[in-house]
């Protein structure tokens, strides 16, 4: 059933690793909090498996059957875990022949959420740079939540979101506010900047540098105020929202503010996809080093079906 034909769903990929187990635990709680369905998927990547195998057709068939049996067992165990934790949760599973990234992206609709586990950036590379390639990742239609391998589930704490006035950061803020509504969390809006220095820093007079700092500080204040005014609505105006404005590297400021938080939320401009995520952007910097779940809002995350 496609994302266009069913209610909003939390879609999580499992593969038997501890990182995927952490993602499953996070996805189970998210589905309960959001009163949504849970879809557990496993992609066999059979074309790659078969291509790597030598031997007769019989041996290849046996290897395929073993892979399918293992996949079914993996999904059954994951579904059992979800129902054990929350017996009333609507759980479905899918075993597909394609690679995991393709399955996750094909299953998802604009109202859904994709959840993956990560050892550092491993799972993100699997979705963004794996066998399905950058072209597929450019079409991610919904938020992608990357859960660290060791992640303590938190509720009612802080959701940290980076904003810079761009459309991508407005998407990120909307998601952060909506998630805060269902998790009773406070929202911390972070905007940072770095004052560019001339080629000869020694020639920069102290008063001129101070003026530059004041100018960027005023711009930061305007950016935060403008984004909040545009995004906050009747549903979210009662949330506990604060702002951090700081002269610092954007990645460092988000990681510092997000230490011990429920989640860090970042947007991705993605120049025609999510190339901003995979080509060294702030999003990638946060994903590489964050010890808490990170939500990435792809460019198409606010389109409607």
According to DSSP, the β-strands at 144-148 and 113-118 are parallel
Q: Which of 103, 126, 175, 116 is nearest to 293 (CA)?
A: 116
The four Cα atoms 148, 154, 157, 162 give a dihedral, to 10 degrees, of 20
Q: pLDDT of 177-223, one tens digit each?
A: 999 999 999 999 999 887 555 555 555 555 555 556 788 788 889 99
Q: Which of 174, 175, 179 is nearest to 29 (CA)?
A: 179
In whole angstroms, what separates CA 3 from the centre of its chain? 18
State the pLDDT confidence band at 107, using cuts at 50, 70 and 90. Answer: very high
pLDDT at 122: 52
Q: Which of 3, 44, 27 is nearest to 79 (CA)?
A: 27
pLDDT at 188: 97
pLDDT at 302: 63
According to DSSP, the β-strands at 113-118 and 9-13 are parallel
Name, in order, each residue with C-beta under 8 angstroms of 277's C-beta and a sequence gap of 6 or more: 124, 128, 137, 268, 270, 283, 284, 287, 296, 298
Of the ranges 62-71, 147-156, 186-195, 280-289, which one carries the lowest mean pLDDT score? 147-156
Q: pLDDT of 6-65, one tens digit each?
A: 899 999 999 888 888 999 999 999 999 999 999 999 988 765 455 545 555 676 667 778
What is the distance between the alpha carbons of residues 186 and 290, in angstroms, rounded to a whole number?
Answer: 19
What is the distance between the alpha carbons of residues 271 and 247, in angstroms, rounded to a whole number?
Answer: 26
Q: pLDDT of 221-245, one tens digit each?
A: 999 999 999 999 999 999 999 999 9
What is the distance between the alpha carbons of residues 12 and 145, in angstroms, rounded to a whole number?
Answer: 9
Using H for helix, E for strand and C for coil, what is the string for 34-55? HCCEEEEEEECCHHHHHHHCCC
- The answer to whether residues 178 and 295 touch, using CB atoms and an 8 Å cutoff, is no
Task: Answer yes or no: is pLDDT of 134 > 60.
Answer: no
Task: Answer yes or no: is pLDDT of 148 > 70.
Answer: yes
- The answer to whether residues 134 and 273 touch, using CB atoms and an 8 Å cutoff, is yes
108 DSSP 8-state letter: -
272 DSSP 8-state letter: T
Q: Would you say the pTM of this structure is higher than 0.75?
A: yes
Task: Answer yes or no: is pLDDT of 300 > 60.
Answer: yes
Stated as kind and residue range, the H or E segment containing 109 is none
């Amino acid at each position: 059933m496609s994302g266009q034909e069913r209610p909003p769903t939390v879609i999580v990929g499992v593969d038997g690793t501890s990182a995927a187990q952490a993602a499953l635990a996070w996805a189970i709680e998210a589905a309960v909090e959001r009163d949504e369905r849970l879809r557990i998927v496993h992609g066999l990547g059979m074309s790659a498996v078969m291509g790597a195998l030598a031997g007769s057709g019989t041996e290849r068939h046996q290897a395929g059957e073993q892979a399918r049996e293992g996949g079914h067992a993996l999904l059954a165990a994951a579904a059992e875990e979800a129902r054990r934790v929350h017996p009333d949760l609507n759980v479905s599973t899918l075993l597909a022949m394609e690679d995991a990234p393709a399955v996750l992206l094909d299953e998802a609709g604009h109202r859904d959420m994709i959840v993956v586990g990560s050892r550092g950036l491993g799972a993100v590379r699997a979705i963004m740079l794996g066998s399905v390639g950058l072209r597929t990742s450019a079409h991610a239609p919904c938020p992608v939540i990357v859960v660290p391998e060791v992640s303590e589930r938190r509720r009612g704490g802080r959701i940290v979101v980076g904003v810079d006035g761009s459309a991508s950061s407005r998407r990120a803020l909307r998601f952060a506010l909506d998630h805060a509504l269902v998790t009773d969390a406070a929202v911390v809006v972070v905007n940072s900047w770095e004052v560019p220095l001339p080629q000869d820093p020694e020639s920069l007079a102290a008063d001129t540098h101070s003026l530059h700092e004041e100018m960027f500080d005023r711009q930061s204040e305007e950016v935060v105020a403008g984004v909040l005014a545009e995004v906050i609505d009747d549903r979210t105006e009662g949330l506990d929202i604060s702002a951090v404005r700081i002269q610092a590297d954007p990645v460092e400021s988000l990681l510092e503010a997000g230490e011990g938080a429920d989640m860090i939320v970042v947007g991705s401009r993605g120049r025609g996809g999510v190339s901003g995520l995979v080509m060294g952007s702030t999003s990638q910097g946060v994903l590489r080093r964050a010890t808490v779940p990170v939500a990435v809002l792809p460019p198409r995350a606010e389109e409607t079906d």
